[in-house]
Structure 1
Amino acid sequence: MSLRRGAGWAALTAAAALLSSCGMLGALGDDDAGAQTATVGVLVPETGWQQADGEAVLAAVRAAVEETAGDIGGWTVEVVAVDEGEKGEAAADAVTELVDGDAVAVVGGLNTAAVRAAQPILDGDDVLFVSPADVVPAHTLGADPSTPLRPYRSYFRTAVGAEAPAAALARYAVSGLGAQNVAVVDGGDAAEAQAFAAAVDELGGKVVASGADVAEVVAKAKAEGATAVFVAGDREIAVQADRQVRASGLEATLLGATAFGGDFAENAADGAVRAQPAELDATAGVRSGRLAEDLGVPLGEFGAAAYDAGTAVGTVLARCLPPASSASSARRGCLGEMPQLDFAGATGEVSFDEYGDRSGGGVRFSVLREEAWEVVGVDG
């Protein structure tokens, strides 16, 4: 995360006012008299350690929306910054005010509390919500990524996750499965095993058994009541772990990343969960190299994805606003257009899957069913 404290919120809003006064967005000239107004809210922190990231997100969204929705006949599109605060209450108040007005979309949500608070409010009124930062699996897949259920149909994200599959599986184990006790089999990749164990510890879980001897680890896992077993490294060790878990009667979900490659699936039991890395390179976009120069601010961690979020929103508005009689009546049409998008963005190709996740943009979860891997969701 960018920790630059730099320019304050006052400077940010002053820059926003300058852009508006220059005709960038939201300025009603003589030719715009009587035009309908549609608002795009940008939910970013007013203060705190992510303030600089908020500046980049706002600048990126403004530029992208201007490029894609700056000339819609009969409409003026305003991009406004709203404070997400450090807790959910501020975000809830901010988006409620937007929904009661002429909001058609919200971009942002840089912290988890803000995303969670905003989701039900925006979804209840069909307001499009796009985050360039959120990578929490439950926000798009529900509580259990192995049986995904989309909680909010208005929520999408352009975030490109950089998390390692091992860490993603640790979050799935602790948060998705509710496993407080887990076991780790080191099948030849100590770094992967350590990454999983460290993530489990950070999330409040406990590694109750670990080591390279499969039989010993599984036996201790059973004695300690482990409900998830992670295998790092070699496929042959993963095969042994699968057999040992079944033979011991241990009721635990088998988890793996690289260890579940090759022909592991041919003889393994149903229910194993595999995680694979993202298919996109967040730095390989068509404009990422010059985007910071174009915007005039450092991109930070989320600027490029925010530009893609703004492009997605602006493209949708250009389609759904012209036939609408008001901003509120355009909302459902905007939601309907969002899944149809597919464009070359600053972070690579941008399209969305059935859960609102960025296609190829995060760790992919697959579940083994009848000797075949079935992709069930994307983390971030």
Structure 2
Amino acid sequence: MTVRRGAGRAAPAAAARWVALTATAVLLSSCGMVNALGDDDAGAQTATVGVLAPASGWQQTDGEAVLAAVRHAVEERAGDVGGWTIEVVAVDEGEKGETAAGAVTELVDGDAVAVVGGLTTPGVRAAQPILDDEDVLFVSPADVVPEHTLGADPAAPLRPYRSYFRTAAGDEPPAAALARYAVSGLGAEAVAVVDGGDPAEARAFAAAVGEAGGAVVASGADAAAVVAKAKTEGATAVFVAGDPEVATTADRQIRASRLEATLLGTTAFGGDLADDGATGDDGDGLRDGAVRAEPAQLDATAGVRSGRLAEDIGAPLGQYGAAAYDAGTAIGTVLARCLPPASSASSARRGCLGEMSQLDFAGATGEVAFDEYGDRSGGSVRFSVLRDGAWEVVGVDG
């Protein structure tokens, strides 16, 4: 096994440990084993998988776990690629992502075909355009910032970088995601909150409204009182937490008061709450225009192999190790398909991107497949609007 330093440089105090874990995984097609290639070995093409993670600071241990997981997964899936040597190399993104741009630039100028990592938000943002410009596959096991896959407007999601994917699945409460959607997507600067029996959900929504730049102008458990104050204060959205019966009550109150506001909910909109077709104010269900948020369908910590994965890779998983293993598995699977027909690493890049969207496998964190934005299928909060008595998905939150 050879040792190769990444494009980023570790701080002196951490360098020895980081470099020791940067041992390059060289995967030989002839035997499917990890070996070292000398300078005299000619004829084999080389492709590099970079692992972008902090080499020092408070996330150093997480970076080491990501490196070990990716190396193990790539070795498992791409250990027999005819005529190719695959190197897994650590590159330092810095404690705050400050070295990520330089690190990935050096990679793409060489024989990089993929990068796994980006444990900091600045690091992800710095690496995305550089890797996308060169068609280098980029997979993060840690990032859950919605804008990184959906663009700036949650009401009109638009994928900013086609080379970017994530195996991370967010665990944010749907109510918080819905609050951002209300303020940013629906333009509701003033909202009201009806606590229909779930105070924790009501608090999560209210806190997220404030963080998104909006204001809660009315709140309480009495739907009629909240709606009345909402009208006085000019609220344009009303969120109901908890009981579905309270949601239908709030809906009737909104219509009776002629308040021009969108009704919002998560658990309060569970079951079949669509109107039964009545057009008057005494219908039994919600009327068209209500918006709900549904939780991600993946458990970010559960998986078919996570219990023994740490033993398999020889390192503690940390916060991102399982998702990093799934990222490495995805990369290894793709490389086994796109490298054999390619004449060079750079010429393989577009083919690797094309293969990525076709993946569907059982990973350490559950089923791994990607949607049209590069997010985990089933791993995002979904927003739906009630139209003609049926819920229609109008957006997702990463």
Structure 2 residue corresponding to 1:336, chosen from 354, 357, 361: 354
Secondary structure in 1 matching 2:113: strand
Q: 1:376 to 1:110 in 2, by over 3 A?
A: farther
TM superposition shift of 1:75: 1.2
What is the match of residue 149 of structure 2?
Answer: 140
Report 1:284-323 matches (<5 A): 284-323=302-341
1:161–1:379 contact (8 Å) kept in structure 2 = no
SS in 2 for 1:301: coil
The alpha-carbon distance between structure 1 residues 39 and 168, as it changes in their structure 2 partners (threshold 3 A), is same
Bigger mean CA deviation after superposition, 64-73 or 19-28: 19-28
* Matches of 1:32 and 1:179, distance apart in 2: 64
Q: Secondary structure at the match of 1:101?
A: coil
CA deviations over 1:284-324 (Å, ceiling 9, x no partner): 32211100111222111111010000000110011001111
What does residue 115 of structure 1 align with?
A: 124
Cα separation, 2, equivalents of 1:96 and 1:224: 52
- Matched with 2:215 is 206
Letter of the 2:225 partner, please give it: E
Task: State how far apart, in whole Å, the 1-side matches of 2:222 and 2:354 are.
Answer: 53
Offset, 1:208: 2.3
Q: Which amino acid aligns with 1:56?
A: A
- Partner residue of 1:13 out of 10, 19, 43: 19
Matching residue of 1:4: none
1:62 maps to which of 64, 71, 83: 71
> Hey, what's the Cα distance between the residues in 1 that align with 2:97 and 2:256?
47
For structure 1, the 5+ residue unaligned runs are 1-6
Q: Report if aligned partners of 1:26, 1:77 keep a CA contact under 8 Å in 2.
A: no
Partner of 1:365: 383
What amino acid maps onto 1:352 in structure 2? Answer: F
Alignment of 1:124 with 2:133, yes or no, is: yes
Q: Which structure dedicates a bigger proportion of its chain to helix? A: 1
Report Cα offsets for 1:160-194 as digits up to 9, x if no partner.
Answer: 22222122223333454454433211111112112
1:24 to partner: Cα distance: 7.2
CA distance in 1, matches of 2:27, 2:167: 29
Alignment check: 8 A CA contact 2:25 2:86 kept: no
Aligned with 1:186: secondary structure? strand
Cα separation, 1, equivalents of 2:89 and 2:322: 19
Alpha-carbon separation, structure 2, partners of 1:338 and 1:180: 39
Q: Secondary structure at the match of 2:176?
A: helix
Instruction: Report the AA paired with residue 127 of structure 1.
Output: V
**How far has the Cα of 1:282 moved from its partner?**
3.3
Letter in 2 for 1:278: A
Identity over aligned pairs, percent: 82
Look up the match of 1:348.
Answer: 366
Letter in 2 for 1:191: A
Give the partner amino acid of 1:64: A
Q: Distance in 2 between matches of 1:239 and 1:93?
A: 55
Comparing 66-75 with 309-318, greater Cα deviation is found at 66-75
Q: Which residue of structure 2 lines up, in the alignment, with residue 163 of structure 1?
A: 172
Tell me the distance in 1 between the aligned counterparts of 2:295 and 2:145: 15
Change in CA separation of 1:294 and 1:211 when aligned onto 2, cut-off 3 Å: same
- TM-score (norm. length: structure 2): 0.85
Residue 36 of structure 1: aligned partner? 45
Distance in 2 separating the partners of 1:80 and 1:26? 15
Shift of 1:31: 8.6
Name the SS of the counterpart of 2:169 in structure 1: coil
Mapped to 1, the partners of 2:210 and 2:35 lie a distance apart of: 48
Structure 1 partner of 2:5: none
Query: Which amino acid in structure 2 is aligned with residue 12 of structure 1?
Result: W
User: Which digits, 9 at most, give the CA deviation of each residue in 1:56-96, with x for residues without a partner?
Assistant: 11111111111111221111111111222344552222222
Say whether 1:51 aligns with 2:31: no
8 Å CA contact 1:146–1:366 kept in 2: the answer is no
Contact 1:25/1:79, CA 8 A, preserved across alignment: no
Task: Output the CA distance in 2 between the equivalents of 1:283 and 1:88.
Answer: 25
Give the AA of the match of 1:288.
S
Q: Is the 8 A contact 1:25 1:78 kept in 2?
A: no
* Residue-by-residue CA offset, 1:111-158 (whole Å, 9 max, x unaligned): 222222222222222111111111122222223334322222111111
Contact 1:146/1:367 (<8 A) preserved:
no
Task: Report the count of equivalent residues.
Answer: 374
Name the TM-score, length of structure 1 as normaliser: 0.89
AA at the equivalent of 2:112: A
Larger Rg over CA atoms: 2
8 Å Cα contact 2:47-2:85 kept in structure 1: yes
1:110 shift after superposition: 1.4
Moved more, 154-163 or 166-175: 166-175
Residue 12 and residue 247 in structure 1: after superposition, are their counterparts in 2 closer, same or farther (change >3 A)?
farther
> Which piece of structure 1 moves more, 110-119 or 213-222?
213-222
SS of corresponding position for 2:50? strand
Residue 245 of structure 2: aligned partner: 236
In the alignment, the residues of structure 2 paired with residue 257 and residue 224 of structure 1 have an alpha-carbon distance, to the nearest angstrom, of 24
Is 1:379 aligned to residue 388 of structure 2? no
Unaligned runs of 5+ in 2: 1-12, 276-284
Q: Contact conserved, 1:208 with 1:226, CA < 8 A, in 2? A: yes
